[in-house]
Amino acid sequence: MGNVGFRIKKDFERIDPIIVKQFRGIATSNIGDVMGRLWAMDHRIKPVNHPGIHLVGSAFTVRTHPSDNLLVHKAMDLAQPGDVIVIDAFGDMGNAILGEIMCHYAKTKGIAGYVVDGPVRDLDGIAKMGFPVFSKGGTPRGPYKEGPGEINTIISCGNVPVEPGDLIVGDGDGVIVVPKAEALEILEKAKAVERQESEIIQSIYNGQWDRKWVDDVLNKKGCEILD
């Protein structure tokens, strides 16, 4: 891998699909909370189609020149079913990095979805597809197809580092990255948070939610409470 800035690594190690599958349905907020609240992408990267969409898969990374998608077209041919194509376009909003044709092709290949640090286009067409696309927004201005770029090197997407094979989870809140070496540990912790949160919600409706901790913190911090 000598040609820094214009190079392709075809494959990488993926997380066990049994672990990946178990992240489906777990809220990104709960996953983020068990990782120090530090692994969520920039809030502007949001689902462009429908807010109920849930994206889970292994990161297939692309770094591209902000106005170009040659390497994204190559990524679609190399990615495996279940991969999420995660694209570092430097957050630049000048040119769309992909559009509906690329979504139809990715869908037929079993690719799980796209995450783009930049804009996409053909939003109306993509909205009808039910194929998960997360981006910073849309523009009709199209991409060039010249390069340069890199496939499957470490990238930054929405201010978070992403390595090929890291776990990507996306929902209405945005996108979270789970480092692949810690995926099983994070899964167990996030499941525990899901259980705790549903217990809290149940206790609210039972009238039994213990609110004592609020006053405990206020007292500890020295807050003055006036009548």
CA distance 78 to 8: 10
Which helix (DSSP H) or strand (DSSP E) does residue 124 occupy?
helix 123-127
Is residue 122 near Mg ion by the rule CB under 5 A?
yes
* 124 CB-side CA count, 13 A: 1
CB 74 within 8 A of CB 7: no
Question: What angle separates helix 100-108 from helix 70-78, to the nearest 10 degrees?
Answer: 10
Least CB distance to ligand OAA at residue 143 (A): 5
Q: Any contact of residue 68 with ligand OAA (CB under 6 A)?
A: no
User: How big is the site for Mg ion, counted in residues (CB under 5 A)?
Assistant: 2
Q: Does 149 bind ligand OAA (CB under 6 A)?
A: no
Verify binding: residue 168, ligand OAA, rule CB under 6 A: no
Using CB under 5 A, which of the segments 22-30, 34-42, 122-130, 163-171 binds Mg ion? 122-130
- Spell out, one character per residue from 96 to 115, where the chain touches ligand OAA: x when CB under 6 A holds, - when not: --xxxxx-------------
Residue 13 or 124: the one with the smaller Cβ distance to Mg ion is 124
Binding partner selected for residue 57 from ligand OAA, Mg ion, none, CB under the kind-specific 5 to 8 Å limit:
none
Q: How far is the CB of 104 from ligand OAA (least distance, A)?
A: 8
- Which residues, in sequence order, are CB contacts of 50 under 8 Å at separation 6+? 127, 130
In angstroms, rounded to a whole number, what is the distance separating the alpha carbons of residues 84 and 107?
11
Query: Which tokens in the block code for residue 70?
Result: 């040659």
CA-CA distances (angstroms) from residue 142 to 52, 68, 121, 171? 28, 9, 8, 26
C-beta closer to ligand OAA: residue 24 or 145: 145
H/E element, 149: strand 149-151
99 near Mg ion (CB under 5 A): yes
Q: Binds 113, which of Mg ion, ligand OAA, none (CB < 5 to 8 A, cut-off by type)?
A: none
154 binds ligand OAA (CB under 6 A): no
Nearest-approach distance from CB 133 to ligand OAA, in angstroms: 11
**Which residue number has the CB closest to Mg ion?**
99
φ/ψ (deg, to 5) at 109: -85, 0
Q: Interface residues with Mg ion (CB under 5 A)? A: 99, 122
Q: Interface residues with ligand OAA (CB under 6 A)? A: 69, 98-102, 121-122, 142-143
